Structure 1
């Protein structure tokens, strides 16, 4: 593990592979951590890539530099963290690959700073930038049912429940979101240590409140959020991966799945795979990244 000051964080990350290889940044989601990329990173290093795998804000050993910094989980903060990490590591351009929160960070940077992105791998919903202005428009009852955990965290009872039952809460989400993935208890335990970060609960709760307009933005990221509210298109070459058995992401047709992408984009639906695509389907995730490098 390495650490570097990047923006408001002291980021803990893995840096693997040849220093002169094409750079790939692998970004985990909620509630997961960098262990999701163990197999993917090994395959990419074997292919000659340099892999950067950071713990996001609120996870693992990554820490805020200042106790006064808002523990925001908003999309603008995640994108700003990623951009700051690229700057701190002197990486002018990279493949960005992620899912869930990590996919959101990757999409934000790809949309707003495309000159820093060689290509993008994003998992469903693909264009992972939140439309906060429309967030309170009711969805179908089935979609609302899948999002129960978000509504739970809108209240203080939910905050207290997450704080008291971090591992149990997150293990349940793993099971619900990846119903066909027979993960070992040791696999979950290795990742669950990351949820003991002192900022985990605050960052998670803010994320699921801010996206519905129930919590204020960090003023330091307001200029980014204003740009995201305009729904900027993603123009860099992209691959979207979808788990056919994803228990949380809405099922969508091909046309709606690629909405928001103005550059070359293709989508692959992977049978027998749920929400945690890189850990459940490392070969397909790796191949998606390498295809972007071959076509660059």
Structure 2
């Protein structure tokens, strides 16, 4: 069921399924995807008694800013603050948090800074908290090559390209990042509609500039960014999912150093970047595992 609620600086749109008194789980999408990424995950969790919340992030789909004065920031602190505000608005004291890409970042931020709000964590590609202080340092050429889209968005040509050709741009990323996933036109169109949000371009461009220290953040969020700069460890039970066919991210073999609680890293063969949509059964099973549940026989 599609719902909306005022949460922090947003009127957040979300889908809710499962029993209202079930154990809560929040499923968070990435860029450039949307809530449809969890269309096959949510029913699996609802069938196991979960109250499943699947929001559209800021700048996506029907989610809207409440004020024209709020900076259209896509920085990591904003994503974490939005998730915390949603939990507060829904009166959910603690939930399993699961996400990938931007959604994984939001989940990691809350799990790291407010661990009492996270019953467990499922994160795509490990520790998603950015180390902005080191972002300007060159890395291996293979990694630099994969981040071409970020560098493209650093300039005004890239911002204009995203604004004018967002459907083509985002579809290219889907194809490059998930080379073994054969999605059809209808599947892409369902999510691409979310990129028509009036704040999509501004939020995306700010995100990919801020993480490299090329754009100012929202002053209201500076304290959160200061805490994230310390690269806080995640202490809640966590599972990292990594697609072996991911065309943009590569698993960090030393990722466990960021996790001080029970932690497991899982590699998914033939799976790319869009983890829940490409491997919904594996994603749902990981959520059930960190929640302390097991699928029904």
**Structure 2 length as normaliser, TM-score?**
0.97
* Residue aligning to 1:74: 75
4+ residue segments displaced more than 4 Å: none
* Residue aligning to 1:91: 92
* Distance in 1 between residues matched to 2:54 and 2:255, nearest whole Å: 26
* Residue aligning to 1:294: 292
Q: Deviations over 1:32-89 (max 9, x none)?
A: 0000000000100111110000000000000000011100000000000000000000
* Residue aligning to 2:179: 179
* Distance in 2 between residues matched to 1:85 and 1:294, nearest whole Å: 23
SS at match of 2:240: strand
* Residue aligning to 1:249: 249
SS at match of 2:16: strand
Give the one of 263, 266, 269 matched to 2:267. 269
SS at match of 2:272: coil
Q: 1:259 Cα deviation (Å)?
A: 2.5
* Distance in 2 between residues matched to 1:288 and 1:250, nearest whole Å: 19
* Residue aligning to 2:157: 157
* Residue aligning to 2:58: 57
* Distance in 2 between residues matched to 1:243 and 1:118, nearest whole Å: 24
* Distance in 2 between residues matched to 1:30 and 1:171, nearest whole Å: 11
SS at match of 1:174: helix
The 5 A counterparts of 1:12-161 are 12-124=13-125, 126-161=126-161
* Residue aligning to 2:277: 279
The answer as to whether partners of 1:111 and 1:235 remain within 8 angstroms in 2 is: yes
Q: CA RMSD in A?
A: 0.9
* Distance in 1 between residues matched to 2:251 and 2:288, nearest whole Å: 26
**Structure 1 length as normaliser, TM-score?**
0.98
Unaligned runs of 5+ in 1: none
Q: 1:295 Cα deviation (Å)?
A: 6.5
Q: 1:185 Cα deviation (Å)?
A: 1.1
* Distance in 1 between residues matched to 2:251 and 2:231, nearest whole Å: 21
* Distance in 1 between residues matched to 2:235 and 2:37, nearest whole Å: 27
Unaligned runs of 5+ in 2: none
SS at match of 1:69: coil
Q: 1:250 Cα deviation (Å)?
A: 2.3
* Distance in 1 between residues matched to 2:183 and 2:4, nearest whole Å: 29
* Distance in 1 between residues matched to 2:117 and 2:85, nearest whole Å: 12
The answer as to whether partners of 1:123 and 1:241 remain within 8 angstroms in 2 is: yes
SS at match of 1:259: helix
